[in-house]
Structures are given as structure tokens and as C-alpha cells.
Chain A
Amino acid sequence: MAKEIMTTNRAVAEAVKLAKPQVVPVYPITPQTTISEYLAQFVADGDLDAEYIRVESEHSAISATLGASEAGVRVFTATSSQGLMLMHEILFAAAGMRAPIVMADANRAISAPLNIWNDQQDSIAQRDAGWIQLYVENAQEGFDTILQAYRIAEHEEVMLPVMVCLDGFILTHTVEPVDLLEQAEVDTFLEPYVPKFAYLDPERPMSLGNFADPTYYTEARHDMQVAMDKSMEVIKEVGAEFGEKFGREYGLTESYLCDDAEIILVCMGSMASTVRHVVDQLRAKGEKVGLLKIRSYRPFPFEEIDEITKNAEKLAVLDKNFSFGIGGALFADLKAKCHKETYGFILGLGGRDVIPEYIEEAVELTKNPVKEVTWLGLKEDE
């Protein structure tokens, strides 16, 4: 199919239509709103045969999504920022009940101060919920990743929900060319969902979302860790199969000019495009820098990161989030799990543009470090 021009929100909605979920409970919130609108339109026009539930809040959206998933059908929902915060309680329940939900999160800053623009604090704050988190760089990745997310979530050795994270406005409202797939093509990659384990069926009565006393709770949580570990292989397998079928391959990470790089810039989401541009410019000046884009933040692919960064001297980690007292979440994870001299940089909070100058500054401050964590572009008192 020829490329079409669309936003990442539209690309996500088109992918959801092709994945054919049967229940779609969504509550609109900026900058996710157009996903909910496109899906409502698809259902109204008969292009998507799904129950579209107009819920009264995000807590209800994820609750209805979980309920529908436990009834044994493929589901989809989407949210952003404060909406994801309101879902917090049910996010843990969805993962613990091993519901293969796919949700899009339009990454947006968290209040206060109130801000509708992009950073990644919302999904980072949910990192321990037990969801797989995949961050996309552009509209094409958004489209492709939604389709892969169902394969990953529904894999019988995974059975964990997947959150597809797309940077608010930078992706959600920016039009780009996207190579859409035909339904017949998608059907060869993504088959209808057939529930196997925990789901409601009158022929086989079952109690779900149960109480577990100290005898069972630890094992239930450990099972989730085992599934999360297993999901690393599955993400790679599914990404490779997608590549074979459609020509665009995906993995846990994506590296660019890392083999001989002395400094590797590590980041997630749309920032990677800007960093790639800066890497090209610095390479032209003879500087040995590379880019490592983390696509899968949970599970965290530290062994793969160790391998890719083995020749590098230092890592410069760019975070659009902050954990008070520590630094960026990605920085903290790399410090904990990888064995490199690592510096963290906080930038792009609340929609402030990530400009090439900040990334050049990050490289300079990694060459000649002043402190471990630096806030880039921080204004002095005026």
C-alpha cells in the first residue's frame, strides 16, 4: 500500500482497527483524544466491529478493559498523563491478573504545575506496575508496534499487558508518511485472540482476581517476573517476524554507530531522531559518538545494552523524566544494571523542545564531567 500522511495517533488507531479488538473502552484526554475519536468513528462507520464503551473516567476505562479482557476477548484502550495516574490502581491488577491488554499512552507531563505538553514522566511513574513498556520514535513505529504488542501480550509464556508509549504532540499531533498494511497482510501476522488460561466461560467456571494469602502471593508475583524475562525473547522474535513479513525489523533496542563510539547517547522515544541527527553532525567533525535507543524499557534489556556498549568509554543518558534524589529513571537503571561510566541529563520536561544544542552540551559534559546529573537548558533567575 502507498504511504499515507497522518499523525501517530491516526497511525495507532489504524493499527488498532487492523488488530480487530472486540471491546474498546476509552476516555478522551489531551493529547490522546484523537485516538479515541478515530476509533469511535471506525466503530460508527462499521469499519471496526467492536463494543465502544464511553466510560466516565480513566479508572473506569481500564477497569472495563480489564473486565472485557478477562471475558476472553481482545481489547484496546488509550490514555495520557493524569488519565494514566487515575488508572494506577487497575494497572497493577491488570498485570497481576495477566490480562493481555494493549494500551497506548500519549506521553504527557504530570501536574502540578498543570501542563499538557510532552515528557515521559507519566509512563515512567508506572514502570513497576508489571506492564511491558515499548517507546516509539515515529508514526510508523507507532503503527507497527501496536500490531506487535498484541502478539507479545497474548504470547502464552508472557500474558502481560503492553503499554505503547508515544510522545505527546511531537508524535501524536505531527503528520508523517506512514506505510499502512492491508487487513489480509496483518491477518497473516496477527491471528484472532483465543484465550487459554484465566477467562470467564460458563462451560468452565472460574474465579478471577482472587485473594492470595502469604502462602501464594510471592509466587504469583515471581511468575510475573519470569514472564517479563521471557518477554525479552518474545519481543525480539515478534519484531524479527514483522521484519521478515513487512520489511521493518524491530528489537529491544536500536543502535546507531555504536561499534566504535567512545560516548554513546542513550534515550527513548522521539528524542532518538534528534540525537541521530546530532550524532551525524558530530561524526562529521570526527567525534566518535553513537546512539542507543531503548525501545523496550520494561523488560529492561541490560544484557543487550552491555553488549552494544562494550567498546564505549562512557554513556550519556537523556531522560524526559526525573526521580527525585536520583536523576532520570533510565539513567538510574543503567547505573544499576550496566557497567559503564554514566552521566544523566534531564531535558524536554513539560514540552520544552529537545534541541540539538542540548545534546551537544550533554556530549561535552560527558567528556568533561562536572556532576553526575545535569538539568539541560535550566534557566537562571531572570
Chain B
Amino acid sequence: MVSIGCAISEPGSTRKNKTGSWRTFKPILDKNACVDCNNCLMFCPEGCVNKDHDIDYDYCKGCGICKEECPVQAIKMEIE
């Protein structure tokens, strides 16, 4: 049940909107091949990669920029 007119009275509720549902291709990181360059962390437009290079699939939209920017091809895009 949505509120009348989709009004939102709770701050920060955008977090509930799991934009990961929009994803078609899922990035999979092979941590053994990773050289810790942090390119994926810096280039991810959604801030979905943390310092340990864990990917937050709740919000990753599958854009594939991390895969493009990885210098050692440690990230693969798999269809979901």
C-alpha cells in the first residue's frame, strides 16, 4: 500500500528502493586475480564497491564500468 499521492514522510527512504533489481548482467570479481588497484571502487557510479572490493548487489545496476576499467580482467559480467 503506497501513501496517498506517493507522499514520503520518512527521510532516507530511497535506501529501500533496491535498484539492483534493474540489473541484467551481474559483475563477478575474481579476488585471486585482483591487484588491488581500486579502479572498480573509484569508477563505480553507484558507490557499490567497498574497500575490500565486495560488490553491493542490492544497488549495483550492472552497468559494467568496473569490468571495463579493471586492468587485469578480474571482473566478468554474467547474465542473471
B-binding residues in A (CB < 8 A): 96-99, 159, 197-198, 204-210, 212-213, 215-216, 219-220, 223
CB-nearest residue of chain A to B9: A206
Instruction: Find out whether the CB atom of A96 lies under 8 angstroms from the CB atom of B5.
Output: yes
Smallest CB separation, A381 vs chain B (Å) = 53
Interface of A: prevailing SS? loop
Instruction: Find out whether the CB atom of B4 lies under 8 angstroms from the CB atom of A159.
Output: yes
CB-nearest residue of chain B to A199: B7
Instruction: Find out whether the CB atom of B9 lies under 8 angstroms from the CB atom of A216.
Output: no
Q: Mark B9-48, 1 if CB is under 8 A from A, else 0.
A: 1010000010000000000000000000000000000000
Smallest CB separation, A371 vs chain B (Å) = 45
Q: What total of chain B residues lie within 8 Å of the partner, measured CB to CB? A: 11
CB-nearest residue of chain B to A198: B7
Shortest beta-carbon contacts, A-B, top 3: A198-B7, A98-B5, A207-B8
Residues of chain A contacted by B5 (CB below 8 angstroms): 96-99, 159, 197-198, 208-209, 220
Instruction: Find out whether the CB atom of A212 lies under 8 angstroms from the CB atom of B2.
Output: yes
Of the A-B pairs whose beta carbons lie under 8 Å apart in the complex, a sample of 24, sorted by A's number, is A96-B5, A97-B5, A98-B4, A197-B3, A197-B4, A197-B5, A197-B7, A198-B7, A204-B9, A205-B9, A205-B11, A206-B7, A206-B9, A207-B9, A208-B7, A209-B6, A210-B6, A210-B8, A212-B6, A213-B17, A215-B17, A216-B2, A219-B2, A223-B2
For the complex, give the distance between the alpha carbons of A216 and B2 in Å. Answer: 7
Instruction: Find out whether the CB atom of B4 lies under 8 angstroms from the CB atom of A223.
Output: yes
